Amino acid sequence: MPLTSTLVEDLRKALSDAQAVSTENKELVSFAQSKYPQFPGSPHAVVVHASSTEDVVKVVKIANTHRVPVVPYAAGTSLEGNVSGSNGSVCIDLSQMKRVKEINVEDADVVCEAGVVWNELNDMLQEKGIPLFFPLDPGVGATIGGMIAQGCSGTNAVRYGTARGEYILNLTAVLPSGEVIKTRQRARKCSAGFDLTKLFIGAEGTLGIVTEATIRLVPRLATSVGVVSFPDPRSATLAVCDILNKGASIQCAELVDELSIRAIKLCGKFPMDWVETDTVLFKFQGSEAVRDDSSMIVQNVIGKYGGFGYRHVTKEEDVEQLWADRKNLLFGLLKMHPGHKGYITDVCVPVSKLPDLLLATKKELADRGLVSPLGGHVGDGNFHCFILYKTEEEMKLVMEVVDAMVHKAISLDGTCTGEHGIGLGKKKYLVEELGEGSVELLRTIKAALDPLNLFNPGKLYPEKPSKL
């Protein structure tokens, strides 16, 4: 009997719901890549739809016996091949583990399973009339477990920080041995030992599979948006640094360039007299007095940096439409370039270095006749590109630009990824960024926890240089 059949048989025997174990070809393929498959993976041997931590333990123990790789999956919204299938792998699908087990309003926290989707959680809290929300905002549809595995963030990071901050109070993880641990209790602060919670944040499922977490909520506050035009990215960036250093209550600061403005004009619905130049959108949060105060700080600062045409959009429906227009600008771009796809990736540098990165990338694109919007989360120095291409030939040029952009970011004291993770796509840059010693330390910890290298193998850790 081939290995796979006994593996599948063992899984079917172990799981109470035999339907949970699938060998349907469609699933073996679709669960082996993210929904935006920039890095297609090999089909899995089997997909298990887990419904509890106990299910995950059973699968891990059986995979251990059979010495087969285990790849976790939930929303499949990652971008760097972080959940691509390995050869003969068991995929553990956590997307059905969606229970919200506790909502502690006074303490502003929630205990939930890994498959809970962040925006659905926030909708649910709003429906219940709870004036709190979970502030990490990566791509819509991402799950809490995936967000933890990725060390995610999003536009709100200017105010709230990232998954590596203090919004994940604790988590439950199944280790490669099959043991279940909970990293911490529910108290907001804890200095009991080094931080086991953080060990799993950004480990991309290579050290453990997160099945449950306690996450912190924050007050849902009224929001308004300030929009201001700048002559170039450098003045826009320096203005943002200055505004943040003056203590304005800013939730997001997003830079959109000339090309993006054209795309918004094509597809956006909010009536706005856009100027086709580098533009910053600020989200202000709080009572009217607090928002007006922040808006005033922005107004007072921008003149020094050549900012012009400042508008403060305050009506709730206007704010929502304006923000949706910004988010939908990629559709506008694709409309302007029919038949194209966009290659998405991100890097991050100290905020003051962002203009150097943008200008260098602009040149790399122009040299190859390629097009991408050049903007991003300017409040954090996090830059996302969306490089348009049509042919295989163009795709090769895209990868040249990405390569140049990553090297440039690292040379500017930055990182090859601000929020998308390493996966397969960024492995080759890790030693350049962190140094061989730090990468070896990552490997040392991986080997201590997963000596058989079964948990999401091939991701995150670059191969050791061979000794010649």
Q: Which of 190, 267, 275, 336 binds a copy of itself (CB under 8 A)?
A: 190
In the region spanning residues 148 to 177, those forming contacts with a copy of itself, defined by CB under 8 A, are 150-153, 157, 161-162, 164-166, 175
Per CB under 8 A, the list member of 19, 437, 463, 466 interacting with a copy of itself is: 437
Is 227 among the residues that bind a copy of itself (CB under 8 A)? no
Among the listed residues 1, 192, 317, 466, the single contact to a copy of itself using CB under 8 A: 192
Residue 430 within binding range of a copy of itself, rule CB under 8 A: yes
* Distance separating alpha carbons of residues 52 and 369, to the nearest angstrom: 50
Looking at 14, 21, 103, 244, which residue binds a copy of itself (CB under 8 A)?
244
69 token code pair: 């790789």
- Residue with Cβ nearer a copy of itself (24 or 288): 288
- Among the candidate windows 2-10, 234-242, 260-268, 325-333, which touches a copy of itself by CB under 8 A? 234-242
- Which one of the spans 22-30, 41-49, 266-274, 426-434 is the region binding a copy of itself (CB under 8 A)? 426-434
Does 193 contact a copy of itself by CB under 8 A? Answer: yes
Interaction of residue 360 with a copy of itself, rule CB under 8 A: no
Task: List the interface residues with a copy of itself, window 261-320 (CB under 8 A).
Answer: 285-287, 289-290, 292-293
**Are the CB atoms for 151 and 83 separated by under 8 Å?**
no
For residue 87, the one-letter residue type is N
447 binds a copy of itself (CB under 8 A): yes
Q: Map the footprint of a copy of itself across residues 10-39, applying CB under 8 A.
A: none
Query: Do 195 and 162 contact (CB within 8 A), yes or no?
Result: no
How far apart are CB 295 and a copy of itself at their closest, in Å? 11
- The neighbouring-strand residues paired with 93 are 49, 73
164 vs 158: CA distance, rounded Å: 13
**Nearest 5°: phi and psi at 378?**
-65, -25
Sign of CA dihedral 275, 277, 283, 288: negative
Residue 47 in 3-state DSSP?
A: strand
Among positions 38-77, residues that touch a copy of itself (CB under 8 A) are none
At position 318, the amino acid (one-letter code) is D
Helix (H) or strand (E) segment spanning residue 250: strand 250-256
Number of neighbours of residue 391 by Cβ within 10 angstroms: 10
